[in-house]
Structures are given as structure tokens and as C-alpha cells.
Amino acid sequence: MLSERFSLQPLQRLYQGLDSLTSSDRFLFTAADMRVLLPELSQGAFRALLSRAAKGQRLERVCRGIYLYLPAWSSDGRLLFHVAARLRAHEFNYISLETALSDCGIISQVPQSWLTLMSSGRSSVIDCGRWGHIEFVHTRQNPSAIAEQLAYDTACGMWRANPAQALRDMKAARRSMDLIDWEVADELI
């Protein structure tokens, strides 16, 4: 029984550390964020601990490298936006394409739980399990060249393209324009 107590101690310390780090806008953590809470563990022991913690009811793996600390999270429907911001924190990213056009009513049918972003990083689709998918579409646009076409969305914690820029991005990325309601688009642009 002594070994069971010792196996719980690192997990309890992880949870205590996460409790101290969380806030209303900080509920996502990378493995590196949590690693500093238990520096004495070997890399293998730490990975095993994360795996065990992610099977519990307090920490859930969203996608590779990103974990949701459930006690600090208030479901506002914007988890994918926050995950995207953490995944590509060192890249130029902004909400665009189908997501931006759907949010302003130009596209009425968009797959649920699918977030589309333009990114200076490589194009990829990230599977976030039960929360959906994040699609990053590469852009070579210079942030200063389109700054006036973007507004910061504080609720999502990301930049968002205006409808005109989102339509330009759709064309540049060779996306299907079939679902666009051009009457609504003409009113908003």
C-alpha cells in the first residue's frame, strides 16, 4: 500500500500545480508547461504520469501536446480557437475562410466543430477528438499588408478576417465558393 501512496503523490502534485496556474483564460497546458511542475521525474515516468492523468477526470488530452484542465474550463464553445492559438503561438494566424464567413452569415452550412484559419505555418488539419478539427491553411501574406482587414476577437483570443478578406482567402486557397450567399456578401462588403 506504500507504493500506491507514492504513485499518487506526483499526480497530486501535478493537480496542485495546475490549480495554482489556472485562471479563467488559462486552462490549456502543454506537456512542457506541466513538466516544470515535476522536474524530478524521468521523461518516461512523466509521460506515464500524463497518460494516467489524461485517463482521469481532471485532465483531458485535446490533441497532441495540448491538455485541457477540466476544473478551470468553463465551456464557452470556443475551445478550438484557444487550442489553435496555443498550437501556433509563434505563427501569424487568423480566423478566416469558412469559419469567418459562417460567423457573419455569408455561408449558412459549415461542418460543426471545424475551425478554419489562415497561418504563416504549414497547412495541416489537427484532430481534436470530440471537440472537432482545426484546419490551418498556409498563407504567405505579410501581416502588415492585411492589418486593416483584421480585427482582434477577444472572445476567441485570435485575429479575425473581415468578410472581404475571408472571401479573398477563399479564392487564394482555391476553396469551393458554392455555399456563399452572394447577396449577403454584397451587403457586408
Span 18-43, average pLDDT: 93
Q: Tell whether the model's pLDDT for residue 28 goes beyond 50.
A: yes
DSSP letter at 23?
B
pLDDT value, residue 58 = 93
Q: Tell whether the model's pLDDT for residue 127 goes beyond 60.
A: yes
Q: Tell whether the model's pLDDT for residue 5 goes beyond 50.
A: no
What value does the mean pLDDT of the chain take? 91
pLDDT digits (tens, 9 = 90+) for 48-92: 999 999 988 899 999 998 999 999 988 888 999 999 999 999 999
Confidence of residue 109 (pLDDT cuts 50, 70, 90): confident
Residue-range domain boundaries for the chain:
2-72, 79-188
Q: For a pLDDT cut of 70, what percent of the chain falls above it?
A: 95
Q: For a pLDDT cut of 90, what percent of the chain falls above it?
A: 78
What is 2-72's CATH number?
A: 1.10.10
Q: 8 vs 31, which has greater pLDDT?
A: 31
* Residue 119 near residue 92 (C-beta atoms within 8 A): yes
pLDDT value, residue 163 = 97
Alpha helices in the chain (DSSP H): 2-21, 31-35, 43-54, 79-87, 97-103, 143-146, 163-172, 182-188
Which among 128, 145, 141, 126 has a CA at the least distance from the CA of 92? 141
pTM, whole model, 2 decimals?
Answer: 0.87
